[in-house]
């Protein structure tokens, strides 16, 4: 029986993202999203499909070993499944409904780096805490600013987030106090997964970077703004950030996203030679954020000032070794419009105003019980490639 994929599905035949799933508490398996179904790649390999892939590669409970086989192998998997679906091949022995499985983190993340690559977001935050005429720090347009996050607190979509506690000090306080954050926020981001190792001491150029980017996920880098504000000078985010980072379960391959490449913002002043690149490297990804069912933001990844290739090049220019499975966050994605902001910090001007939800309630920051859902997709000339969603509820 041929597989029918809904026309509005994020997981069209042009997409076929990779993920890790299980049936209840059973063993973790590698799958590929096809419409409302999952193609069980682990089962297929065990039954003799893809003779150049060992059973051990797809029985590890993560994508790392498979990604390590290289893009020729993973690309061939997608092409084979595309052909099977187009030809009406009976795949029923390898298909499960997505609604019947439990999704897991797709990769074992060794290291996590979060960039700060939206000019609009950086300016909005800079205006809140510094001279509005000098909202950007002097280095911002010369290099992709970033910080190292905590890989142990990366969680898959659907995992609840416990409200963190830490030191808080407002301008009215003489001394800091300890307690739960009063300014819990989301950050609308994407992330990309490193798919190839580089040797220590060997930088990766912008022209080589695409070989090191396996694919992308949606990302919510939860933030405790009051804890962060008190602690971040001089070394940057710490407890205000490292308590939870949520990612979507399906990794959309770099190749599936190439039809949606667009030009990014003009970079002035001119970047240093190692950050120069050729071609259109931004991606037209429509992004949306809902809080308890109310849409509070519609933004787009194409707005980013620094692209992924530049981020890889900068990350490695000092010889830093990247490893398969490493996660790189884009940084909060904001557009120029008020309805395209990527955080409550920006929407409420630092808590000075409210966001109204459809049920009539108001938010300056997130309350216990609130659920944040980020979704995203690309669409062009009848081709749709989506990410599904990343969701998390505050407890």
Before 28, cis peptide (omega within 30)? no
Q: How many CA atoms lie within 13 A of 313 on its CB side?
A: 20
Distance CA(17)–CA(34), nearest Å, equals 8
- Please give the span between the terminal C-alpha atoms of the chain, in angstroms, as a whole number: 44
Q: How many CB atoms lie within 10 A of CB 230?
A: 18
Catalytic one of 14, 37, 121, 349: 121
Q: What angle do CA 203, 121, 17 make, to 5 degrees?
A: 60
Rounded Cα gap, residues 391 and 375, in angstroms: 9
The full length of the chain comes to 395
Identify the three-state secondary structure at position 244. coil
**CA geometry: angle 234, 239, 244, nearest 5 deg:** 135
Q: What is the CA radius of gyration of the chain?
A: 21
- Given phi > 0 = left and psi -120 to 50 = alpha, else beta, which region is 359? alpha
Task: Enumerate the H helices of the chain as residue ranges.
Answer: 41-46, 64-67, 71-86, 119-129, 225-231, 254-257, 308-316, 344-347
121 as an active site residue: the answer is yes
Cβ atoms of residues 288 and 306 within 8 Å: no
Active-site residue numbers? 121
């Amino acid at each position: 029986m041929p597989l029918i994929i809904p026309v509005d599905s994020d997981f069209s035949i042009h997409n076929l993202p990779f993920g890790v799933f299980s049936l209840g508490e059973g063993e973790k398996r590698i799958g590929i999203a096809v419409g409302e179904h999952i193609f069980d790649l682990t089962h297929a390999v065990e039954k003799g499909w893809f003779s150049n892939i060992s059973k051990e590669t797809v029985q590890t409970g993560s994508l790392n070993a498979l990604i390590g086989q290289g893009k020729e192998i993973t690309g061939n998997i997608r092409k084979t499944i595309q052909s099977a679906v187009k030809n009406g091949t009976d795949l029923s022995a390898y298909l499960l409904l997505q609604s019947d499985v439990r999704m897991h983190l797709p990769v074992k993340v060794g290291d996590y780096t979060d960039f700060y690559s939206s000019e609009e977001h950086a300016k909005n935050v800079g205006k809140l805490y510094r001279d509005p005429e000098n909202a950007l720090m002097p280095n911002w347009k010369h290099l992709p600013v970033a910080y190292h996050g905590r890989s142990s607190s990366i969680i898959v979509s659907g995992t609840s987030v416990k409200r963190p506690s830490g030191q808080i000090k407002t301008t009215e306080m003489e001394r800091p106090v300890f307690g739960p954050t009063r300014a819990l926020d989301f950050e609308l981001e994407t992330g990309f997964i490193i798919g190839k190792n580089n040797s220590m001491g060997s930088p990766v150029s912008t022209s080589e970077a695409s070989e090191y980017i396996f694919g992308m996920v949606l990302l919510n880098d939860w933030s405790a703004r009051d804890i962060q504000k008190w602690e971040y000078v001089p070394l940057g985010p710490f407890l205000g950030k490292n308590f939870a980072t949520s990612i979507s379960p399906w990794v959309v391959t770099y190749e599936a996203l190439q039809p949606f490449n667009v030009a990014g913002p003009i970079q002035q002043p001119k970047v240093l030679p190692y950050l120069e690149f050729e071609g259109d490297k931004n991606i037209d990804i429509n992004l949306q954020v809902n809080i308890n069912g109310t849409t509070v933001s519609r933004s787009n990844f194409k707005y980013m000032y620094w692209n992924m290739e530049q981020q890889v090049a900068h990350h490695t220019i000092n010889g830093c070794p990247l490893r398969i499975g490493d996660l790189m966050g884009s940084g909060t994605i904001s557009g120029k419009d008020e309805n395209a902001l990527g955080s409550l910090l920006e929407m409420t001007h630092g808590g000075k105003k409210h966001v109204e939800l459809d049920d009539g309630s108001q938010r300056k920051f997130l309350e216990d019980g609130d659920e944040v859902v980020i979704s995203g997709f690309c669409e062009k000339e009848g081709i749709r490639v989506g990410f599904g969603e990343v969701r998390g509820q505050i407890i």
